[in-house]
Amino acid sequence: MAVPNAVVNQRGSERLRFGHPWIRVQSDPGAIVRVSDERGRFLGSAFYSDRSQITLRFVSRADVPIDRAFFTERLRAAARYRQQVVDDTDCFRLFYGEADQIPALIVDRYGDYLSIQTLSQTADREKPLLVEILQELFAPKGIIERNDPRVRLLEGLEQKVSVLAGTVPEKIIARENGIQFQYDLFHGQKTGSFLDQRENHRAARQFASGDVLDCFCFGGGFSLTLASAATHVEGVDMSAAAIITARENQTLNGLLQVEFREANIFDLLKKYDEIDRQFDMVILDPPAFAKNRDSLPAAVRGYKEINLRAIKILKPGGYLVTCSCSHHLPEAAFLELIADAATDAKRAITIVERRTQALDHPILLTMPETYYLKCMILRILD
């Protein structure tokens, strides 16, 4: 079958030359197109959408067929990389869209099950083929599509959750860093849960001791991973559902030194500051405060407030593990607001580690959109 052609202007050609895989152009909805510049020179092959502002998502710069063999090799290459970077874990990101060179495709592994998202017209059209390949390569017991993100509406695609192959139970248990967690692939966050903090959970354990306060604890990832190194861990979240899940995960692992409770983090940090409650480690892992550029000023104020309160309730020599998953807040700005908070708290603070998302969420150097998670481990000097 003939492959549609798309022509990009000089600006689009320069954008591709500098490595960014997104360009705007016109062609047939959901097609895989051959892209050339205004002089007819081949630039690559791309997924096309007639609804999104991102009309072209480049899948290859080589002049090769984008077929079953192509997709199979890309998935195999992603799996080989995960074998190198994932250990003591059977829940992780198996495929990360543009960073693994199939745009708009997310595949997460939870033990014997796969959860996928196809977030563009072309990825969704190729979904039956991709599911077949996933079954052949990984033999999962079941594959579920978590195609309920709102971004699909921008592509003219419906939001839906359904089992695509095999069977998927309502809840499954899988390991992260040797700790057992329960996952709901039908209703949980993202494809079932957040998998990008796994290595940061482990890193925090290295510095944990004494009393630990884990704010925005969600299902207990930080709390339960570092519990063995602490005397007492207090995990707090404002979501009642999150606290129920965290307690169930605690029971799975028999970790008695952890206490989970529901509370508003801003109010709690203010209260602990007022009564001079002190901790050896405070963890801040909030949801994205900045959903878009317009919300960034308010987000910066929110991030600064919780970091200021956390710094004030840390003992000398204590550790602050502070995170931001807001793509619109760059690392430099995040560090600046933490520095401002430390200055306002009149405390000296040093950077122990500057971390990002787990290695199974690779960052494409020429695509800043793939770098979103910042995790800083800092030490209070006095």
CA 323 to chain centroid: 12
8 Å CB contact between 232 and 257:
yes
Sign of CA dihedral 139, 184, 91, 107: positive
- Cα–Cα distance for residue pair 69/80, rounded to 1 Å: 16
Query: Helix, strand or coil for residue 236?
Result: strand
DSSP string covering 317-371: EEEEEEEE--TTS-HHHHHHHHHHHHHHTT--EEEEEEE-S-TTSPPPTT-GGG-
Catalytic, out of 91, 217, 323, 325:
325
**CA atoms within a 13 Å half-sphere pointing along the CA-CB vector of 253:** 28
Provide the pairing of β-strand 172-176 with 258-262.
Answer: unpaired
Whether 325 sits among the annotated catalytic residues: the reply is yes
H/E segment holding residue 264: none
- Cα–Cα distance for residue pair 283/307, rounded to 1 Å: 10
Alpha helices in the chain (DSSP H): 10-17, 68-85, 121-125, 127-138, 151-154, 198-207, 221-226, 240-253, 265-274, 296-312, 331-344
- Cα–Cα distance for residue pair 323/338, rounded to 1 Å: 11
Catalytic residue numbers, as ranges:
325
